[in-house]
Structure 1
Amino acid sequence: MADATSPSARYQQGRKTRQSVLGVDHVARADKNTTPFDQPFQELITEGAWGSVWSRDHWSKRERSMVTIALLAALGHYEECAMHVRATRNTGATREDICEAMLHVAIYAGVPAANSAIKIVKEIFEQQDAETNSSGEQE
């Protein structure tokens, strides 16, 4: 994106896709925290990751979500992995899908990588369950 006042079509599509996967609030926080230093990086990931890859129609968001979680876990990028596990609320990937992805990580990237990622995934599931339980309780 050469000019911030006229974003490219790919950037605009990437932004829509990023919001649909990670949530409008997440993207707004990323925007708020963007500085001149990391603005080119934000533009790159919005156009490249979200506009070029995540916006393709061959795979569903659910399928992309599973692959992304497995890759991030395999590479040891646990913070990003956690973010994408939270995003499964928007992508449709289930806990069973994530379990299957972790089994692939264990076989193809190693048990230690899967073990570390599984700990993080379980923490996120616990947080989500607590949020669901607290929002579902009425007194």
Structure 2
Amino acid sequence: MDKGELYKKGSEMRRELMGGAMADQMATSVYNDPLMEKFGDWTREAVFGLLWTRPGLDLKTRALITVITDTATAAWPELRIHLRMARRQGWTEDELGEALLHTAGYIGAPSVREALLVAKEVFAELRAEE
């Protein structure tokens, strides 16, 4: 795949959102085979290069939207990643917890319970890393 301007733009945005350590870790553990490398290239262009760089919303708001959509679609591995990104964008543990609780009335308690359990683990990991 030709790694053009959108790939470069998306790679920079991804690194900004995740932090260098997480981006590097994922590159060597998740996207280290041809099948997943193709997916990683696509997400750099389509998700990080196009969606995350659009005008109209700041990165902090986009991060919260992503956490909520992960919860609504039961995307638990992605939620782990996006909770970390949301914390890097300035959301507090309390704010993210409240946002997740708020969604219970719209998507249901079981999904929110699972999201809160994921958040509990991620927040503990982040505190231990500090």
TM-score, normalisation: structure 2: 0.87
Letter of the aligned partner of 1:85 in structure 2?
L
Structure-2 change in CA distance of 1:26 and 1:127 (3 Å): closer
Q: Which residue of 2 aligns with 1:10?
A: 6
Letter of the aligned partner of 2:85 in structure 1?
A
Residue 37 of structure 1 aligns to a residue whose secondary structure is: helix
Q: Which residue of 2 aligns with 1:137?
A: none
Aligned residues: 128
Residues 78 and 120, structure 1, Cα contact 8 Å, conserved in 2? yes
1:127 Cα deviation after fit: 2.7
Mapping for residues 22-101 of structure 1, pairs under 5 Å: 22-33=18-29, 34-101=32-99
Residues 13 and 53, structure 2, Cα contact 8 Å, conserved in 1? yes
Q: Which residue of 2 aligns with 1:136?
A: none
1:120 Cα deviation after fit: 1.4
Structure-2 change in CA distance of 1:83 and 1:114 (3 Å): same
Residues 10 and 50, structure 2, Cα contact 8 Å, conserved in 1? yes
Deviations 1:63-122 (A, max 9, x none): 011110111011111121011112233212222331232123211111100011111112
35-44 vs 24-33, greater mean Cα deviation? 24-33
1:11 Cα deviation after fit: 0.9
- Cα RMSD over matched residues? 1.7
Structure 1 portions without partners, runs of 5+: 133-139
1:39 Cα deviation after fit: 2.1
Residue 76 of structure 1 aligns to a residue whose secondary structure is: coil
85-94 vs 44-53, greater mean Cα deviation? 85-94
Residue 68 of structure 1 aligns to a residue whose secondary structure is: helix
Amino-acid identity (%): 27
Letter of the aligned partner of 1:91 in structure 2?
Q
Q: Which residue of 2 aligns with 1:21?
A: 17
Choose the corresponding residue for 1:103, options 83, 101, 104: 101
Deviations 1:6-55 (A, max 9, x none): x2111111000000011112222233342222222111111011011111
Structure 2 portions without partners, runs of 5+: none
